[in-house]
Amino acid sequence: MKTVIIFDHPYTLSASHNEPHNRSYSAAVAQSTVDYLTIKGGEVDIIDLNKDGFDPVMHPEDLTAWRTRQSINAQVDDYFQRLMTADQIIFIFPIWWEVMPAMTKGFIDKVFSKNRMISKNPRVVLPKNPVIRIFTIAGTPTLLYRLKYGNPIMKALSRGTFKKIGLKKIKWHNFNAEDESPKKRQADLNQIQKYL
């Protein structure tokens, strides 16, 4: 089974080791996911957007390429080819101001473009129909995020993106690391298989 992880955090995956001023619970979740999948014998391909220097901005020439079904650039093409072979795709990112960071949004805008569609009715972009997992890390408690803010991540990604392109196997888990004790945070990391 092949998993492609799209990871978005400015500190990159290297921030998974709890070092002062270079630590990220998002990175810790990503690294625990990689470790578990690798131990289970899976193939894991990591797209670390910040490490790759991915440009999330849709520039005028990018939009023209998108609209005319042309290649945006080699990096975007490479990302898409890697997704084509995935059995599951896992997005891991922090929630900022109740939504995804710019890198994740730009990845979706550029990689899932019109020229990728292999069928229009029904819409199909990824023929292997991979499972989509979304792991978010937020300061807002999950229940409050659902009730007060209406779960914008799942509205945008599940309903507004993936279901529109024929991907219906979508799972979301939110980690509330900010309000948890170090012991609980570590326990969540040790039980990452519950969400895979």
Domains with residue ranges and CATH for the chain: 2-195 (3.40.50.360)
- Do residues 91 and 133 make contact, with C-beta atoms less than 8 angstroms apart? yes
Question: 61 pLDDT exceeds 90?
Answer: yes
Of the listed ranges 42-51, 52-61, 179-188, the least confidently predicted one is: 179-188
pLDDT at 158 over 80: yes
Mean pLDDT on 105-129: 80
pLDDT > 80? residue 138: yes
Query: Which two tokens mark 81?
Result: 């080819």
Over residues 173-194, mean pLDDT:
90
Buried b (16+ CB within 10 A) or exposed e, 23-49: ebbbbbbbbbbbebbeeeeeebebbbb
In tens, the pLDDT along 3-26 reads 999 999 999 999 888 777 778 999
Contact 163, 129 (CB under 8 A): no
